[in-house]
Amino acid sequence: MFGFDMGYMIIAGVFSLISMWVGSKLKSKFAKYSKVQLRNGMSGAEIAEKMLADNGIRDVKVISTPGMLTDHYNPANKTVNLSEGVYNQRNAAAAAVAAHECGHAVQHATAYSWLQMRSKMVPILNVTNKFSMWVIFGGLMLMGTTAIGGTIAWVGIALYGIGTLFSVVTLPVEYDASNRALAWLKNKNMLATDEYAGAEDALKWAARTYLAAAIGAIATLLYFALKVAGNSRD
Residue 164, pLDDT > 50, answer: yes
- In sign, the C-alpha dihedral spanning 17, 24, 174, 128 is positive
Residue 143 resides in a domain: yes
Residue 224 burial by CB count (10 A; 0-12/13-18/19+): exposed, middle or buried? buried
Residue 4's pLDDT is 52
Residue 1 resides in a domain: no
Residue 2's pLDDT is 41
Residue 69's pLDDT is 82
Region 186-210: mean pLDDT is 96
Q: Domain containing 139: what range? A: 6-233
Residue 85 resides in a domain: yes
Looking at the structure of the chain, the number of domains it has is 1
Closest to 102 in 3D by CA, of 81, 76, 77: 81
Residue 3's pLDDT is 44
Q: What is the mean pLDDT of the chain?
A: 93
pLDDT digits (tens, 9 = 90+) for 29-52: 999 999 999 999 999 999 999 999
N-to-C CA span, the chain: 21
- Decide: 65 and 86 in contact? Cβ < 8 Å: no
Residue 233's pLDDT is 63
Rounded to whole angstroms, the maximal C-alpha distance in the chain is: 69
Residue 113 resides in a domain: yes
pLDDT digits (tens, 9 = 90+) for 70-120: 999 999 999 999 999 899 999 999 999 999 999 999 999 999 999 999 999
Q: At what angle do helices 92-109 and 148-187 cross, to 10 degrees?
A: 110
Region 206-221: mean pLDDT is 95
pTM comes to 0.89
- Give the lowest-confidence range in 7-16, 79-88, 172-181, 189-198: 7-16
- How confident is residue 214, by pLDDT bands cut at 50, 70 and 90? very high
Catalytic residue positions? 101
